[in-house]
Amino acid sequence: MKKLFAAALFVALSQSANATFIDNGTYLTDSQTGLDWLDVTSSVYQSYNYVSSQFGSGGLYEGYSYATGAQVNELISNWTGNTIATMNPIIHPEGAIDGLVAALGSTLDSFMFAAYGLTYDQFLGVNEGEGFDYTYGMIADVTGLGTRFASLISDDDTTANSFDVSIAYFTGETITDSSVYPMVGSYLVRNTIPEPASLALVGLGLLSLGLFRRSRRIEKNSPLGHAI
């Protein structure tokens, strides 16, 4: 029985956070927060209203919701190891957020490829990753004027003086809930950590299995076991 309780405890503790990021191809998992981040390029040229309508069962983005600016800052903090909690632009050391842009997808490249069949770096005639990329998408937060904030993560390597920057609360475009832009997607998240009730059910299942096995052993060892 002790082993069963230990196993149930392990299931619960295995949900604990760690700092590992997993790129699953179409989404990025931040196991420190337990959030999956859908590639921002998957929702380019779709309005906030349309994307929101696809969150329900059977929808294109079932299980997801809009990320907040605070969650974007937390994602960048976990990626870089530097705590960020501001509405202001943050300049990052070279290379600190390049991989995050690649993992979430360059919305600039998605536009360029659709329009010209080339990434922006290819258009510039440089090796991929040595030019300019950014991930730009709407978030849940709204401005005081009722328009919508977006978040921008930019990787600029075009000159020796270029710098990488992130802005969780960006107002570079006047984005309304019906706006669509060819280079703007949406930051969407879903929780990968089971609810406490789910963990309780797992533990109960393990406990029940243990009791069943114990009962079968008693029956087998009983003098009447062959007749049961």
- Per-residue pLDDT of 137-188, as tens digits, reads 999 999 999 999 999 999 999 998 899 999 999 998 899 999 999 999 999 9
CB burial of 187-220 (b: ≥16 within 10 Å; e: otherwise) equals bbbbebeeeeeebeeebeebeeebeeeeeeeeee
* Chain segment 39-92, per-residue pLDDT in tens: 999 999 999 999 999 999 999 999 999 999 999 999 999 999 999 999 999 999
CB burial of 35-59 (b: ≥16 within 10 Å; e: otherwise) equals bbbbbbbbbbebbbebbbeebeeee
Asked if residue 36 is part of any domain, the answer here is yes
> Which residues, other chains included, contact 225 with Cβ-Cβ below 8 Å and sequence gap of 6+?
219
The label of the residue with tokens 């360029």 reads 112
Asked if residue 127 is part of any domain, the answer here is yes
Number of domains making up the chain: 1
Asked if residue 197 is part of any domain, the answer here is no
Asked if residue 5 is part of any domain, the answer here is no
Asked if residue 77 is part of any domain, the answer here is yes
Asked if residue 70 is part of any domain, the answer here is yes
* Chain segment 105-146, per-residue pLDDT in tens: 999 999 999 999 999 999 999 999 899 999 999 999 999 999
- Per the structure, the complete domain to which residue 32 belongs is given by 18-191
Asked if residue 152 is part of any domain, the answer here is yes
Q: Is 0.95 topped by the overall pTM?
A: no
Asked if residue 187 is part of any domain, the answer here is yes
